[in-house]
């Protein structure tokens, strides 16, 4: 999304990327980004948590207004709710699909 954001910004439309992949976002350097330490695909919060999602989106928009340097990433403090072990499970080798060569597959 960061590459697309740069093109949209070049056309004069402000953008804000929400990410949970710091390294990829840093490499792509979209104009404005906020990082949330949540499982991939859940940048806007946990399913069914409308109040938490609203607070996260609000915090993201407020951070986006304050960003001054292109490529800057602001880390938001909101933790992933109710599941402190999500990271250990998400990044465990048994949860990483591998090909016949044993290397992680890319989707």
Q: Comparing 39-43, 70-74, 81-85, which segment has the lowest mean pLDDT?
A: 81-85
More confident residue, 97 or 100: 100
- Is 34 exposed, middle or buried (CB count within 10 Å of its CB: 0-12, 13-18, 19+)? buried
**How do residues 10-69 score in pLDDT, each as one tens digit?**
999 989 999 998 888 999 999 999 999 998 888 999 999 999 999 999 999 999 998 888
CA distance 17 to 73: 9
């Amino acid at each position: 999304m960061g590459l697309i954001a740069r093109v949209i910004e070049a056309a004069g439309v402000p953008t804000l990327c929400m990410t949970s992949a710091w390294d990829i976002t840093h490499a792509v350097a979209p104009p404005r980004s906020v990082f949330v330490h949540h499982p991939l695909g859940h940048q806007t919060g946990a399913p069914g948590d409308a109040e938490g999602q609203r607070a996260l989106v609000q915090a993201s928009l407020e951070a986006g207004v304050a960003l001054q340097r292109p490529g800057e990433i602001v880390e938001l403090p909101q933790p992933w709710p109710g599941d402190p072990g999500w990271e250990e499970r998400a990044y465990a080798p048994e949860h990483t699909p591998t090909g016949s060569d044993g290397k992680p597959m890319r989707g």
